[in-house]
Amino acid sequence: MHAPAELFLASSNTGKLAEFRVLGGDAALSGARLELLPGFAKIPAFEENAPTFGENALGKALYYSRHSDGLVFADDSGLVVPALGGAPGVYSARYAGVGASDAQRIAKLLAELAAVGASQPEAYFVCVIAAARSGQALAVVSDRVDGRIAAEPRGDGGFGYDPIFFLPQWNRTFAELSPQEKNRHSHRGKAFRRFLTALRGAA
């Protein structure tokens, strides 16, 4: 089986599209072309208000696939800290409020960990990717990367919570890894490569 010739990302974000193209890599894509969903900006936005990453990703894929004749995929991802009851979880991007900066989200997370007396607790990043065609689900996959929360931000790379996501096996945070290292080991990179494999089986 072969992956579809064209995959539409349910987004208008060209930067996100470029990231997925890099994450997939030439060998993994095997000729599949990744593009933004045509007319995405004109479609009423899907509300990501489900309690799990999987429901949000699949909900987006199903919703936007009804506005396209092609295969549409969507993702949802975030940071999970068990010591905080799983927070920030699905609220990772808006943990410190809509419009908050990465620094503000990190500061809130570290403050809440200090409040519960959790020092450098275990944490993990998770990513779920779903695909659908004409309102029918085709694939849902997920992957994760485990680490700990650093006592303070380290590194200048990456984005989001990367400066405090510490990987003991490398003694570095995500923000201290090179882009190539992060793409190879990140939750999103692993999930996307798994996703492409799943599509070949469903094609």
pLDDT, tens digit, for every residue of 79-127? Answer: 999 999 999 999 999 999 988 999 999 999 999 999 999 999 999 999 9
Cα 109 from Cα 42, distance rounded (Å): 35
Least confident of 1-5, 72-76, 171-175, 186-190: 1-5
Instruction: Report the DSSP pairing between strands 136-149 and 172-173.
Output: unpaired
The confidence score (pLDDT) of residue 52 equals 97
Cα 32 from Cα 29, distance rounded (Å): 5
> Residue 24: pLDDT band by 50, 70, 90 thresholds?
confident
The confidence score (pLDDT) of residue 167 equals 96
User: CB atoms < 10 A from the CB of 140, how many?
Assistant: 17
> Residue 27: pLDDT band by 50, 70, 90 thresholds?
very low
> What is the arithmetic mean of pLDDT over 38-55?
94
pLDDT, tens digit, for every residue of 179-203? Answer: 889 888 899 999 999 998 888 765 5
CATH T-level fold of 6-202? Maf protein (3.90.950)
Q: Looking at the chain, which runs of residues are DSSP E strands? A: 6-9, 33-36, 71-80, 122-133, 136-149, 165-167, 172-173
> Residue 18: pLDDT band by 50, 70, 90 thresholds?
confident
Residue positions annotated with a catalytic role: 76
The confidence score (pLDDT) of residue 1 equals 39
> What is the arithmetic mean of pLDDT over 15-39?
77
Looking at per-residue confidence, does 185 or 176 come out higher?
Answer: 176
The confidence score (pLDDT) of residue 136 equals 96
> What is the arithmetic mean of pLDDT over 139-163?
95
> What is the arithmetic mean of pLDDT over 60-69?
95
What are the backbone dihedrals phi and psi of residue 74, each rounded to the nearest 5 degrees, phi first?
-145, 160
pLDDT at 22 over 90: no
CA angle 33, 35, 37 (to 5 degrees): 140
The confidence score (pLDDT) of residue 155 equals 96
Full-model pTM:
0.90
Cα 68 from Cα 85, distance rounded (Å): 38
